[in-house]
Amino acid sequence: MKTSNTKNVIVILLVAIVSSLVTLAGYNIMIRNNGNRFAVGTSDKATSEEIGAIADSFDQDQNILLTNLTTSDGYPDFTEAASRSVDGVVHVKTKSISQQQYMNPFDFFFGFGDRGPAQPREQVGFGSGVIISKDGYIITNNHVVENATEVLVSLNDNREFTAKVVGTDKMSDIALLKIDGTEFPYLTFGNSDALQVGEWVLAVGNPFNLTSTVTAGIVSAKNRGNVMGGGLGIQSFIQIDAAVNPGNSGGALVNTRGELVGINTAIYSQTGNFAGYAFAVPISIAGKIAADLKEYGAVQRAYLGIQVPNIENIRREDPEKARELSQIKGVMVEDFGERSSAKAAGIQKGDILTAINNVPIRNFAELQSQLNRFRPGDKISVTVDRNGNNRNFNVELKNDAGNTEITRSTDPVSALGATFKPVPEETKRKLGISSGIEIASVDNNGLFKKEGINKGFIIMRMNNTPVNSESDVNRIIAATKTREDKVLLVAGFYPNGRTQYIAIDLSEKG
């Protein structure tokens, strides 16, 4: 009896061992196959071509594919992806000037309460950025560089550069910077559309000023909308659970091949620090915005010209109707805007948009994600469900003005209508000033002429920031135009004249 029991135990153990070996072997094969699948990086052809066109805008070389994404034990291996990413992610330091109103305590005590002149105070901010070309173009967040009078960039090898803000886009929270030099390490673009929920990703940045920090997590969701209460114009984020904290903004989200698939932008937190949810702008959108900023100085946005139901407003008045609308797989056309390209193509009220260029559309975030890839004048195929029947329409997209013209941003200084020349150091000494730039000429149609600033006027400060060159003027004006008030305060004088303070509203031009 004991011998029989012993044999049974041995048989059971052998079966268990064999089963375990088969399971481990299958797991390793699956992991390796997944690794190879990600190395191939397949997705729909159209998206790959779009990413390729964006990469060409920044003269990116063909990415080298990683073929082994696992350790010998079968665990995910992020070392190659991390090593390829950290050199392409930079630390961004910004300086800006804030105005603090000064109140005389004696005036307050005796009941006058008059505030003194605004006192400038320098503020310093930090964030991250991603080098996307060997000649020094860098993507970051708009909120990292907004209002900055100076932007400094530090590379992983400790080299430091002063960066020029090429352009910013508040709606997407994306900005493009440029540093001078060649052969910078950079991250190549991956295909953010090919990401799958559950796929491993890395967040690379500088949280809390801790440079070259890499954290790992998975893609928690795609095309996530209503981030930050819907405060951003883009509502099609990649949601991840990799740890992202203050300072990570503008940093890289990379896949396990070390390819750039997103720009880390926001966290969901009640404390301001990471609480398990972070959001990145897909590179399919961020890359296109960066390419627009480089080529045109402004983002080219394409519109279908449709209005869709606001389910949240409907839910307050008619919960049953809201529930029915939320069950629709697609986007219902409730009405049209003026000069609508969708209406011109034959789309009607009540149609349900189900695909753009054969890419399925299940909600408004996915519709926006697709439209953000195009420019005015591009032609797309729109599939709609009309009374249960699918119909296709060829639509030529338009801009918000109802035409297909490209919007170009002018040189910030051009709105002033002036040219400048430096003030020699000897002249500064005689005038008793430490900073200054002279107006060499003015345009009769410029803002300077309108405000009475003419040739020979010496500008010492703009928005309480010293100016000594035209590049200083450019930088300050660019920062001012991103502010809500867009007011430029010029402090200067004519030789032998008194100091003048002149406010110029930059929203009038440019």
Which residues are identified as catalytic? 143, 173, 249
Q: Which residues pair with 224 in a beta bridge?
A: 237
Strand partners, 92: 127, 153
What gap in Å lies between CA 133 and CA 166, rounded to an integer?
A: 14
Tell me which residue has tokens 């105005």.
Answer: 99
> Cα angle at 203 between 200 and 209, to 5 degrees?
160
Residues 6+ apart with CB under 8 A from 381: 355, 356, 357, 358, 392, 393, 394, 395
Q: What is the DSSP-derived secondary structure letter of residue 190?
A: -
- What is the Cα–Cα distance from 193 to 29, expressed in whole angstroms? 25
User: Whose structure tokens read 């709606």?
Assistant: 171
How far is residue 155 from each of residues 22, 86, 205, 389, 460, measured CA to CA in Å? 47, 9, 11, 56, 33
Residue pointed to by tokens 């998975």: 218
Q: How many Cβ atoms sit within 10 Å of the Cβ of residue 15?
A: 10
Residue ranges of alpha helices (H) inside 328-414 are 341-345, 364-371
Q: What angle do CA 217, 222, 225 make, to 5 degrees?
A: 120
User: Tokens 């000594």 — which residue?
Assistant: 468
> What is the identity of the amino acid at 170?
K
Supply the Cα-derived Rg of the chain in whole angstroms.
28
